[in-house]
Structure 1
Amino acid sequence: MDTPEIFYENLSKGIITYEMLDLALFSLNKRAKNYRDQKRKAKKSLYAQAQLFGFSNPDNPEEAERMEKEFYAKKERLLQIVKPACVHQELAGYKKDYVYDKDGIDYADVFIDSIFHNRVLDRGICRKEGKDIRFFVRKGEPYYRYYFFRCIGTHTYHSPINKETALSSGLPIHIINEIKTEGERNENLLPEDFVDQMLALVDSGTYTYVPSNTIHSPRESILPPVTYVIPQKYEWEEVLDLLKEKYPEKPGLMKVDLSIRLWRKIMKLRAFSAESCMKCILAEKRV
């Protein structure tokens, strides 16, 4: 994009307006994203070629990564003009827990609880201590990333920080979903040379910042409510197999379908276990 003449006039007077800052930050942020995407593409190409042919990659992921970091560093220098409004605690994913069928736990109880809360990711048989032991992998505790959050002009910006900095900042902390961002065509961005001139002015410390009259309210926590879906048919069959092992004296378990009504009854349980699940099934069979 062409730089408005008023921006050059302001810069010559040592003035940085919020519009100037917003467009400069947007330019730096999107250029960094462009190099991030280029880096990922180059690494993917490098891996594919190495796997198939053993060839080297004509693209250079290291150079793209260097440029990505350079633009992010410039972005952070400009962001120091504006104080953060709050901290965003980004839900970045979940840890994986491996649960083994061995002494010390009731495997059926843990598995049934995990199935009905849609936490089972995988299952299998492994060799431990000279024995074949079944196990499953479940979605564990969440882990987070932390950012200072700023609203400038028409855009918002995140600056990565560690948990300790977030907690000691004294700012309100809002939990958000995973941040997903994309790049932008360079011709739609403020030119690099103007942004570098602005950075030089900021580094000199002789500028005057003119903020917006509009005060943006920090985002509230935007995590969606937790919802669960009915287990698949094969998952319910796994539950029934475990119940047959635990209660061999109870006939006809394999003939019980997981109806919506039965699923809702089980989901109302305060404590999930093989015993409580079994009681729901028996009560359903008497209906």
Structure 2
Amino acid sequence: MKTPKYMIEAIQNKVITEEILGACTYSCNKRAKNCRDKEQEYRTQFDYYGNGRKNRLKKDNYYHMKDTFLSLVTPVCVHTAIESRDFYDGRDYIGVDKVKRFYLYYKVGEYGFHQPIKEKEIPADLPREDIGEFTTYGKNIKDLLSTDYCKKVLALIESGDYQYIPQQPLKEAQTVNERDLYISL
């Protein structure tokens, strides 16, 4: 997807809105899921070129970016989920194992994100919700923000020289002057 002009202008003015943060986190999260799926695909075949390893490294990088983006917001609750995993012994299918997992749940704009944690790390002040079976999928990269744009937002966060505005999205400003005023806040 082509990055909207108002998002580019906001980053140039060192402003990160909830909409930008949510879209960048979503894009990195879905790209990580795509890499995870490719990595698993290469596990079942001879990988002469090391593509499984390359996808694992990309996946780890995208999850690091997601973690950095989520560091700007606080979790809403803890989700408890049952995860089904297929197990193989070499090449033979063994069966399905169900495992209880815990996730911090973040709400950023119109997006929701899960970040895995261990049971002993669950904050006592957060409510818990059981969400049952939990499966995640990747997304076509044509529908996501560019990696370059997400890296610019990441660099801005890591520099510490930015203003985070968890308010209305920039595209809701009615006129150019209102949007400019909003960006200058």
| 2:58 maps to 1:67 | yes
Contact 1:93 1:144 in 2 (8 A): no
Q: CA contact under 8 A between 1:14 and 1:208: conserved in structure 2?
A: yes
Shift of 1:59: 5.4
- Structure number with greater CO (CA < 8 Å, separation at least 6) is 2
Deviation at 1:202, TM superposition (A): 0.7
Root-mean-square deviation over aligned CA pairs: 2.3
Identity in percent = 31
2:16 is the alignment partner of 1:16: yes
List gaps (5 residues or longer) in structure 1. Answer: 47-55, 95-139, 214-287
Which residue of 2 is the match for residue 80 of structure 1?
Answer: 71
> Any idea what the Cα deviations from partners look like across 1:178-205, whole Å, max 9, x if unmatched?
2211111112110111111101111122
2:120 maps to which of 164, 168, 172: 164
Question: How far is the alpha carbon of 1:5 from its aligned partner?
Answer: 1.1
Q: TM-score, normalised by structure 2?
A: 0.78
CA distance in structure 1 between the aligned counterparts of 2:13 and 2:21, rounded to whole angstroms: 15
Gaps of 5+ in 2: 86-96, 169-185
* Equivalent residue number for residue 144 of structure 1: 100
Deviations 1:208-249 (A, max 9, x none): 212146xxxxxxxxxxxxxxxxxxxxxxxxxxxxxxxxxxxx
**Structure 2 counterpart of 1:130:** none
Preserved CA contact (<8 Å) 1:45 1:57: no
Contact 1:42 1:57 in 2 (8 A): no
> Which aligned pairs between 1:94-243 and structure 2 lie closer than 5 A?
143-166=99-122, 168-212=123-167
Asked if the contact 2:76–2:105 (Cα under 8 Å) also holds between the matched residues in 1, the reply is yes
How many residue pairs match? The answer is 159
2:83 touches 2:135 (CA, 8 Å); kept in 1?
A: no
Q: Larger radius of gyration, structure 1 or 2?
A: 1
State the alpha-carbon separation in 1 of the partners of residues 140 and 50 from structure 2.
20
Task: Provide the secondary structure at the position in 2 that maps to 1:181.
Answer: coil
What does the per-residue CA deviation read over 1:152-181, in whole Å, with 9 as the maximum and x for residues that have no partner?
A: 122210111111111x34201111122211
For the 8 Å contact 2:75–2:106, the answer to whether it is kept is yes
Separation of aligned partners in 2, 1:185 and 1:59: 23
For 2:179, the equivalent position in structure 1 comes to none
Three-state SS of the structure 1 residue aligned to 2:157 is helix
Deviation track 1:113-145 (CA, whole Å, cap 9, x = no partner) reads xxxxxxxxxxxxxxxxxxxxxxxxxxx9x7421
Change (3 A) 1:173 1:43: same
